Amino acid sequence: MKNNDAIIILNEKCTGCTLCIKVCPFGAILIKDKKAVIDLSKCTLCAACVEACKFDAIIIRKKEKAVIDLSAYRDVWVFAEQKKGKVQSVVFELLGKGRELADKLKCNLCAVLIGENTQEGAKELIARGADKVYTVDSPHLKVFQDDPYTRVLTELVSKHKPEIVLCGATTIGRSLISRVAVTLRAGLTADCTGLDIDMKEKLLLQTRPAFGGNIMATIIAPDSRPQMSTVRHKVMQEAEHDPGRKGEIIEEKFPEATYASRSRLLDVVEEIEETINLAEADIIVSGGRGVGNKENFSIIKDLALSINGAVGASRSAVDADWIPYSHQVGQTGKTVCPKVYIACGISGQIQHLIGMKSADVIVAINKDPDAPIFGVATYGIVDDLFKVVPLLTQHFKKTLA
Amino acid sequence: MDYLLSEEQQMIKDLCRQIAVEKIKPVAAEYDESGEFPWDIVKVLAESDICGIYIPEKYGGMGGGVMELAIATEELSWGCGGISLAFAATGLGTFPIILYGNDEQKAKYLPDIASGKKLAAFAITEAEAGSDAGGIKTTAKKDGDHYILNGTKQWITNGGEAEIYTVIAMTNKAKGARGASAFIVEKSMPGVSFGKKENKLGIRGSATREVIFTDVRVPKENLLGREGLGFIVAMKTFDHSRPGVASQAVGIAQRALDESVQYAQERRQFGHAISFFQGIQFMLADMAIQVEAARALIYATARMIDSGAKGISGVSAMSKTFASDTAMKVTTDAVQILGGYGYMKEYPVEKLMRDAKITQIYEGTNQIQRSVIAAYLIKESLSKK
Amino acid sequence: MKILVFIKQVPNTTDVKIDPVTNTLKREGVDSIINPFDMYAIEEAIRVKEKLGDAEVIAVSMGPQQAVEALKEAISMGCDRAILISDRKFAGSDTWATSYTLSQAAKKIGDYTIIFCGKQASDGDTAQVGPGISMHLDIPQVTYVKKIEKITVSSAVVERMTEEGYDIVEVPLPAVLTVVKEINEPRLPSLKGKMRAKKAEIPVWTAEDIGCDEKMIGLDGSPTRVVKIFTPPPRGGGRLLEGDPAETAKELAGLIKKEIIG
C-alpha cells in the first residue's frame, strides 16, 4: 500500500546515523529500532533533514499542484487601509517595501483604496510610490466591515490578478486578508519581518518569527497566487512622499449587493489614549515587574513626560493591573520601533524582546545583573530603578525644558 | 516523597496548589496588610468544588474525610495561612453537624456549606474559658420549644462572616461536665451580634471576632445530639479538626522551606551562593526533615480517623503539636536564613513566622495537647495491665 | 444549542530555548499547554452557556493524540464534551488547510450557533485560522471580541477591539467570534469538572470521518511552505555604565540626549 505521508523515511536507506536529528530545528525526529522516525505532529516540512541526510533516505512527497497559470499574475499590490478617510502610515511602509519588490520583478506597484471620497487618499498613495491606485468608492464602504471589504478586495484581485498582495498587520488587515486568502486559496504569511524576491524562481520570500521569536522561518507560496503577506507597523521603511510623482487612478465600481453586510456596525467608540501613541513613538519608557506596584508607575510616567516619550509596559505590569493593556509591548502586545527604548525593571523575557528589539538604542535599568535585557541593551545600568530613574527625570527636566 | 494518594486526593492536591499559586499567593500580602476578608477567594473555592470535599455526598459534598480536608488545607495554607482559614475554620464549625447532626439538621445546613454559599464557625472559647473549656458561662435555658442563649464567645475565627455557628453553651450548670450542650445558631437569628474585628499578629487574612448572644431564641430542633453532650461534641470535633490545624501549620512551614531553599541559591556572599555553606545546608536539611515528619504524622492520623478507628485523641493531639511546633521553628529559621531581608515586610517569610504562631495556641494550646497525650499514654498503659 | 470552541495545544513558549551549539529548538521537557488565547475562548463559551441555559459547549482540537490532554482540561473547566481531529494526512497543514479541516469538523457536528476561537496561537501567531473557518463555512465573523454585550440564539451584539478603542457590532448567528484577553478571566477547573474529564471519552475523527477532500488537507492543501529555518542574528549587548546612581544617571542622560537631538 503506497505511503502517502507528507514526509517519508526510506528505511532501506536509513543507517540511523542521527545526522537528521541534529539538524531538525523542531526536535521532530527520533530513533526507534535503529531507524529514524519522524513525528508528523511536530514536523513543519522545512526539509532541513532532507538536505542533511547523506544517504538520501528522507523524501518529501511531491505536492499535488493545483494547475493555475502563474504567468497571468503580475504586479505588486498594497492594501491601503484607511480610517476616517486617512490612509494609515503602515501603508506607506508597505509601499516602501513594495517598490523594492516591484522593481526587482520589473512590474507595477499598485494600491487598493476602499472607502468614501477616496480622491485625496489616492493622490497621497501615488505620491508615496504607487504606479496605479484602484479605488472603490461608496458610502457603504466608508467604515470597514468584514463582508463588503472581503468581497470587494476578492473581486478586485480575481479581476486584475496581482502576483503579490501586501497588507498591514492591523486589526482590520489581519481579519480582512485571512478571509480573502481563503476564498482565493492563496498562501498567506502573517507578520513578516522580511520580504524579498528569489530572482531565479521569481518567488516572494517571506520571513517571519516563530516559536515566540526563538526561530525565524522563510516561507514561500510556490503554486498559488497571489502571494499574500501581512507586515507589522514600524517594521519596514516608509516610502518618501514625492508630490511630483505621477500615477494612474482607476475607479472600480460594483453592484450594491457586493456592499451588503451581514453584521451591522452600531457604534465606534474611541478611548482617549494618553497623549502619545505608543506604536508611533520615537521614545518609549517602559516599566516592568521591577516597578513593584501601580503607584510606582508614576516614576515611569514622569520620565516619559520629561523626555516627550510614550509609556510602555511589560506583560507582568499589565497583568498585575498597574497599567492598561494598550501600553503592553511584546509578543501579545504592541511591536514598537522607537529611536530610544528605556526598559526599567524589565527582565527581558523573549516575549517582551520580540516587541522592542528593533529599537535603535535600548537602555536597560535593572538591579539584576543577570537579567536577559542586558544582552540586547546598548547601554545598561545595574542599579535600583527607584534611584536612577528619578535622577534621569531631573536631568531631562533641567536640560530639555 | 510519594504519599500514595488516591487519584481523587491527588486531584484535590493539584487543584488546591493551583489555586494557592495563581489566586492566593499574589494577594496574600495585601490581605495581611488590610485584614479584609477574602470573599473573592471563597468564591474561587466554591466554584472549584473545594468547599464540600469533606461533606457527605448525600448533602452535596464530595464525601471525603479528614485526609481530604488535610490535603486541601495544607495546599491552600501554602498560599496563605490566614486566607485558608475561611475554608478550614468552616470545617471546624461544620464537624459538629456532620458528627452529631440528625438527618434534618444535615439536610438543612450542609448543602449551603458544601456549595460555598455559607461559611461556618465553631464557638466554645470565652474570656474566662480557654484551656479550661469547662468554665464556660454562656447559658442556654429551655423555654418551651426554644432555648434562650445568653453569653459572649471570644476569638471566634470566621466570626461575623460565617452564617452558621455551632455553639457550646451550659444547659445545666449543676451537672458540671455533663451540663453543656451544642447548638446550631444562625447569624440571622435576632440577638446575635458581633464584637469588633480583632487586630492580630498573624493570620490577618482571617476574621476573628467576639460572638455575642443576647436572648437568642434557638429552636429545639437546632440542638445537636441531646442535652449534656456539649463537651463530648466539642472533644470529638477537635479530634477530627486537629489534623486540619496541623495541615495549616505544615502548609505554612512548607512555604517557608521553599522560600528559604530558593533564596539560599540566589543570595551570594563570600563569592558563593549561601546554599554552598554547610551552616545553611544543615538548617535547610533540619527544616525539611521536620516538615516531612509532620506531614507523615498528619497523613497517618487522618487515615486512621477516616477508617473509623477508636482512640484517636492521642495521635490527633500529637499531629497538631508536632506540626505547629515545627511550623514555628521552620518559619523562624526561614527568617534567619533570609537574614536582614527576612525581617522586612517586602519579603514573604516574616508573615509566615507571624502566621505560624497561632497554630501552637488555638484549637487547644500545645500544653493542653501534651496533657491529652499524657492522659492517653497513661490510659493505654493501664489498659494493658 | 451548540457552542463550539476550537482549541490548540501548543508548547509553552516561555520554556522553549535555542540550543546555542546546534542552533536548534530544545523541546524536550517543554510543557504543552492550551494556547493561552483559547483559555479565554473556553471561558466565554461557558459563560454564554450559563447565560442562555439550554446549550452544549463542545471543545474541538486538531492535533496529535497528545492533544487529548488539552481537551480534558477544557472539559474540567466546564465544556460538556470534546472531540479530537487527528490524522497523519494532516501533517504539514498551513492555516488554509487547518481552517478547512476544522470547518469540516464543524459541518460534521452540525447545527452550531457560535464558534469561539482564541485570537491567535502562541506558536504560529498568525491569527488566520478563525477568519478562515468563517469563510469556509460562509458565516459572518467578528474578530478581536473584547466583550459580548447582548446575546440571544439568533444574534449577538459585541465589542470589537480596535487600535483606537472599540466598535460595537451586531452580528447574526451562527457566526465565528475570535476573542482577546480583555474579554474575561478564565476560571480554574473544578473538582467535579476534573472528575468528569477523567471519565470523558473523547472520540477521534479522521480526515475520512469528516469528509475531507484529500487535496485540501495536509501538504496538498497548504499553499505556503517553509523553505528555511534559521536562528535570528543575536543583537549583542552593549556597554554597562558604572558608578553610583548620580553618576550613571548623568552619563545616561547625556547619551540619550545625543541620540534624540543628534
CATH number at residue A154: 3.40.50.620
A61, A38 Cβ separation under 8 angstroms? no
Residue A373's CATH number: 3.40.50.1220
pLDDT of residue B379: 92
pLDDT of residue C26 exceeding 50, the answer is yes
Q: A272 or C188, which is more confident? A: C188
- Is the CB of C189 less than 8 angstroms away from the CB of B15? yes
Kindly write down the DSSP assignment for every residue of C115-151, as one continuous string.
EEEES--TTT----HHHHHHHHHT--EEEEEEEEEEE
What is the average per-residue pLDDT within B172-192? Answer: 95
pLDDT of residue C225: 86
Per-residue cell: B311: 482512640
pLDDT of residue A284 exceeding 60, the answer is yes
Q: Quick check: is A264 in a domain?
A: no
Average pLDDT across chain B, whole number: 96
Q: Chain B closest CA to C222's CA: distance in Å? A: 40
> How, if at all, do strands A203-210 and A215-220 pair?
antiparallel
Q: Quick check: is A272 in a domain?
A: no
Residue C26's CATH number: 3.40.50.620
Q: For B371, which DSSP code?
A: H
Residue B222 and residue A319: Cα distance in Å, rounded?
A: 48
Same domain, A38 and A87: no
Among A182-196, B193-207, B313-327, the minimum mean pLDDT is found in A182-196
Which residues of chain A neighbour C239 with C-beta distances below 8 Å? 378-380
Residue B287 and residue B250: Cα distance in Å, rounded?
A: 11
B302, B323 Cβ separation under 8 angstroms? no
The sign one gets for the Cα dihedral B367, B371, B376, B381 is: positive
Nearest CA in chain C to B51: C191
ipTM for this prediction: 0.85
Q: Quick check: is A389 in a domain?
A: yes
Question: A-contacting residues of C 41-60, CB under 8 Å?
Answer: none
Confidence band (pLDDT; 50, 70, 90) for A275?
very low
Average pLDDT across chain A, whole number: 89
Suggest the residue from C31, C76, C188 to mutate for an interface test with chain B (most B CBs closer than 10 A): C188
Amino acid at B141: K
Amino acid at A165: V
Interchain CB contact of C255 with A (< 8 Å): yes
Per-residue cell: B153: 464567645
Residues of B with a catalytic annotation lie at 363
Residue A143 and residue A186: Cα distance in Å, rounded?
A: 26
CATH 3.30.365.10, applies to B121-230: no
* Proportion of chain B above pLDDT 90, given as a percent: 96
**Chain B contacts to C (CB-CB under 8 A):** 7-8, 11-12, 15, 18-19, 22-23, 44, 47-50, 53, 62
What is the average per-residue pLDDT within C177-182? Answer: 90
Q: Quick check: is A1 in a domain?
A: no
Q: Chain A closest CA to C131's CA: distance in Å? A: 6
- Is the CB of A375 less than 8 angstroms away from the CB of C234? yes
Each residue's pLDDT tens digit, A58-77: 988 877 666 778 889 999 99
Which residues of chain C neighbour A361 with C-beta distances below 8 Å? 256, 259
Kindly write down the DSSP assignment for every residue of B90-109, as one continuous string.
HHHHHHHHHHH--HHHHHHH
Same domain, A226 and A300: no
Q: Which of B7, B8, B47 sits opposite C187 (nearest CB)?
A: B47
Confidence band (pLDDT; 50, 70, 90) for A212?
low
- Is the CB of C191 less than 8 angstroms away from the CB of B23? no
Amino acid at A61: R
User: How many CB atoms sit inside 10 A of residue C50's CB?
Assistant: 11
What is the average per-residue pLDDT within B57-64? Answer: 95
Q: For B135, which DSSP code?
A: G
Chain B adjacent subunits, 3+ CB pairs under 8 A: C
In terms of Cα–Cα distance, which of B74, B61, B65 is closest to B13? B74
Same domain, A82 and A12: no
Same domain, A299 and A371: yes
Each residue's pLDDT tens digit, B251-302: 999 999 999 999 999 899 999 999 999 999 999 999 999 999 999 999 999 9
Confidence band (pLDDT; 50, 70, 90) for A359?
confident
Residue C213 and residue C50: Cα distance in Å, rounded?
A: 37
Residue A10 and residue B351: Cα distance in Å, rounded?
A: 63
**Chain C contacts to B (CB-CB under 8 A):** 187-195, 198
- Residue A37 CB partners (closer than 8 Å, separation 6+): A9, A29, A30, A31
Note whether B7-119 and B121-230 share their fold. no
Q: Where are the domains of chain B?
A: 7-119, 121-230, 231-384
- CA A374 to chain CA mean position, Å: 25
* Torsion angles phi and psi, residue B105, rounded to 5: -65, -45
Residue C12 and residue C35: Cα distance in Å, rounded?
A: 8
Write the CATH number of the domain with boundaries B7-119. 1.10.540.10
Each residue's pLDDT tens digit, C91-104: 888 889 999 999 99
Among A270-279, B131-140, C224-233, the minimum mean pLDDT is found in A270-279
Number of domains in chain C: 1
- Is the CB of C188 less than 8 angstroms away from the CB of B50? no
Residue A48's CATH number: 3.30.70.20
Which residues of chain C neighbour B22 with C-beta distances below 8 Å? 188
pLDDT of residue A267: 92
Rg value, chain A, Cα: 25
Question: Could you tell me where the beta strands, DSSP code E, fall in chain C?
Answer: 2-7, 9-11, 17-19, 24-26, 32-34, 56-62, 81-85, 112-118, 141-151, 155-161, 165-172, 175-179, 204-205, 225-230, 239-240
What is the average per-residue pLDDT within C241-247? Answer: 88
Q: For B55, which DSSP code?
A: S
- Is the CB of A307 less than 8 angstroms away from the CB of C245? no
Nearest CA in chain A to C244: A383
C81, C4 Cβ separation under 8 angstroms? no
* Proportion of chain B above pLDDT 70, given as a percent: 100
Interchain CB contact of C154 with A (< 8 Å): no
Domain span holding position A23: 7-60
**Measured between alpha carbons, how far is residue C236 from residues A358, B198, C67 in Å?**
12, 57, 38
What torsion do the CA atoms of C235, C241, C245, C251 make, to the nearest 10 degrees?
A: -100
* Proportion of chain C above pLDDT 70, given as a percent: 90
Residue B53 and residue A103: Cα distance in Å, rounded?
A: 71
Q: Quick check: is A271 in a domain?
A: no
- Is the CB of B23 less than 8 angstroms away from the CB of C188? yes
Residue A205 and residue A221: Cα distance in Å, rounded?
A: 9
Number of domains in chain A: 3
Q: For A3, which DSSP code?
A: -
Chain A adjacent subunits, 3+ CB pairs under 8 A: C
Query: What is the helix (H) or strand (E) element at residue A43, kind and residue range?
Result: none
Suggest the residue from A20, A21, A37, A41 to mutate for an interface test with chain C (most C CBs closer than 10 A): A41
Q: Angle between the B66-79 and B230-266 helix axes, to the nearest 10 degrees?
A: 40
Confidence band (pLDDT; 50, 70, 90) for B245?
very high
pLDDT of residue B232 exceeding 90, the answer is yes
Which residues of chain C neighbour A43 with C-beta distances below 8 Å? 91-92
Confidence band (pLDDT; 50, 70, 90) for C31?
confident
- Is the CB of B47 less than 8 angstroms away from the CB of C190? yes
Suggest the residue from B49, B55, B71 to mutate for an interface test with chain C (most C CBs closer than 10 A): B49
- Is the CB of C188 less than 8 angstroms away from the CB of B15? yes
pTM assigned to the model: 0.83
Q: Quick check: is A122 in a domain?
A: yes
Same domain, A200 and A223: yes
Same domain, A123 and A232: yes
CATH 2.30.30.60, applies to B231-384: no
Average pLDDT across chain C, whole number: 88
Query: What is the helix (H) or strand (E) element at residue A268, kind and residue range?
Result: strand A264-270
Q: Quick check: is C230 in a domain?
A: no
Which residues of chain C neighbour B50 with C-beta distances below 8 Å? 191
Same domain, A288 and A385: yes
